[in-house]
Structure 1
Amino acid sequence: MYGEREIKNGTLICFPNPNTSRDYEISIDFPEFTCKCPFSGYPDFATLRVKYQPNTKVLELKAIKLYLNSFRERKISHEEVTNKIIDDFIKVSDPKWIQLEADFNPRGNVHTTIRVCHGKRNNLELIL
């Protein structure tokens, strides 16, 4: 099938940061992330929230979507998948700072949130 082929062949890619002279932050939410519990095989659902300050490269959104969908049938723990995703994002984009929060839906009356960071966040002064 077309979608499955796209997901299987998908790789994380980046494009050049259009403004390396300014620190700015990018926020991306993925409310439909799924993987499988390595013990029960039951599906785990999560909202992933990425915030990062790009260095010389910016993560491409469609590539992220395909990459994240590749976990749908994979048996992997909450902790392992969160760390794997941030490691892969760091490897391809080398951000100044990045944070990934994986907020898993409750299952069996247990709610888990995993948050991992890398790099040093530069303070941004926003006046609204």
Structure 2
Amino acid sequence: MSETNIYQNLQQLGGKTELPEIPEKAILESVQNPQADVDYMVRFISPEFTSLCPLTGQPDFAHLVIDYIPSARLVESKSLKLFLGSYRNHGAFHEDCTISIARRIIKEITPKWLRIGGYWYPRGGMPIDVFFAQGEIPQGVWVPDQGVAPYRGRG
């Protein structure tokens, strides 16, 4: 590892940080990728993601799986947790939440490749799964299945 402290400009890690009220106010931090000379995949899983239905205000729940192949920057995980938590009081449809999360990550770190699987629990008796991917997977990078089974209810 180099002598440069790649973590010195982080604002949220290592201290108490308030949950942002809305996604637009959330700070999604990144750090320099110290292994940028090699392609590899990073996975974040948020099994208890929550947002609100924009029409009824009722809570919606999802299991999110975010996979990306970094280029020069890595997502800082605490800031990602706070960013995802900012959706707790945000009203939007499943598709909007899932795609806006992907777009924000892409905007902040410009990964070589990113995919997100939004596995939403049933609303009105129907689960909705939302998938998005951008970029090409570099040759030789192991990209495992997201490992989330389709919703089966109690059966």
Question: TM-score, normalised to structure 1's length?
Answer: 0.90
Equivalent residue runs for 1:1-128 within 5 Å: 6-8=18-20, 10-124=26-140
| RMSD (Å) for aligned C-alpha atoms | 1.5
Deviation for aligned residue 1:18: 1.1
Name the SS for the 1:84 alignment partner. helix
SS of the counterpart of 1:118?
A: strand
More helix by share: 1
TM-score normalised by the chain length of structure 2: 0.75
Contact 2:39/2:141 (<8 A) preserved? no
What is the total number of aligned residue pairs between the two structures?
123
Q: Cα distance, 1:31 vs. partner? A: 0.6
Question: Which structure exhibits the higher relative contact order, with contacts defined as CA atoms closer than 8 Å and separated by 6 or more residues?
Answer: 1
* Aligned structure 1 segments of 4 or more residues deviating by more than 6 angstroms: none
Q: Secondary structure at the match of 1:33?
A: strand
If each structure's strand is expressed as a fraction of its own residues, which one has the higher value?
1
- Do the aligned partners of 2:121 and 2:127 also contact (CA within 8 Å) in 1? yes
Structure 2 residue runs of 5 or longer lacking an equivalent are 1-15, 143-155
The unaligned stretches of length 5 or more in structure 1 are none
Measured in 1, the distance between the counterparts of 2:141 and 2:39 equals 10
